Amino acid sequence: MLEIPTDLPAELVPLSWLIGVWEGTGVIDYGDHAYTGEFTHRVSFSHDGGDYLNYSAEAWLHDADDPEARTRLVAELGYWRLALSATDADAGPGLLPAVSAPVARTADDIEGVRNGDGGFDLEVALVHADGVSELYLGQIKGPRIDIATDAVVRPASAKAYAAATRMYGLVDGHLLWAWDIAALGFELGAHASARLAKLE
């Protein structure tokens, strides 16, 4: 049973079905890098009272000969939020405080920012443990999220990685997830997918 928290800021209500820790297995196949067997993926979405969700994820491969052995694949941290224009009531940039009193948005305010497709525009900022940063733009429409990179920044030490798309969907109480990438000289194509069950 999916439980939606009742203490959320209005800005998080469209994203509320994501909140929790999800874990499951999936497959990897990209370019000439095909892997047999599955990987395990754990994703966490949480909130701390702000108008965004905190995100963390990690994945690892398992050794078919040693079920206890695993090889870490990726670790990510980030923030997910509706694409709402900043106002004088918002802090920033940097440590600059807001210059006017905050005004809590209502459910009606959020309904008023639906896009032409009936969903909500979304911004997702992610940082990978290898130093790659991604800014995704897209939309959430009911129990489906489609996002694509607007910008990818990587240090000289990172492998070539140019673009990505991700899709998330809530199906039969599970979080289905797919990630397409353009990397290592290959065009944008299917890379990984998984089915995750909610742990908490």
Whole-number pLDDT of residue 1: 47
User: What would the two tokens of residue 17 be?
Assistant: 């079905």
Whether the Cβ atoms of residue 42 and residue 23 lie closer than 8 Å to each other:
yes
Mean pLDDT in residue range 3-9: 71
pLDDT band at 3 (very low <50, low <70, confident <90, very high): low
- More confident site: 129 or 6: 129
- 3-class secondary structure per residue, the chain: CCCCCCCCCHHHHHHHHHCEEEEEEEEEEECCEECCCCEEEEEEEECCCCCCEEEEEEEEEEECCEEEEEEEEEEEEEEEEECCCCCCCCCCCCCCCCCCCCCCCCHHHHHCCCCCCCCEEEEEEEEECCCCEEEEEEEEECCEEEEEEEEEECCCCCCCEEEEEEEEEEECCEEEEEEEEEECCCCCEEEEEEEEEECC
Mean pLDDT in residue range 153-162: 94
Whole-number pLDDT of residue 132: 96
* Residue 191: burial class (beta carbons within 10 Å; 0-12, 13-18, 19+): buried
- More confident site: 62 or 163: 163
Q: Which residue has the tokens 């900022």?
A: 125
Question: What count of other Cβ atoms lies within 10 Å of the Cβ of residue 112?
Answer: 9
Mean pLDDT in residue range 122-135: 97
- More confident site: 66 or 24: 24
Mean pLDDT in residue range 52-76: 87
Whether the Cβ atoms of residue 128 and residue 74 lie closer than 8 Å to each other:
yes
Residue 36 has pLDDT above 70, yes or no: no
**Cα 25 to Cα 38: distance, rounded to the nearest angstrom:** 6
Residue 54 has pLDDT above 70, yes or no: yes
Whole-number pLDDT of residue 200: 72
pTM, 2 dp? 0.92
Whether the Cβ atoms of residue 200 and residue 1 lie closer than 8 Å to each other:
no
User: In the chain, pLDDT over 90 holds for what percent of residues?
Assistant: 74
**Mean pLDDT over all residues of the chain?**
91
Residue 183 has pLDDT above 60, yes or no: yes
Phi/psi region, residue 27 (left: phi>0; alpha: psi -120 to 50; beta: rest), is beta
pLDDT band at 103 (very low <50, low <70, confident <90, very high): confident
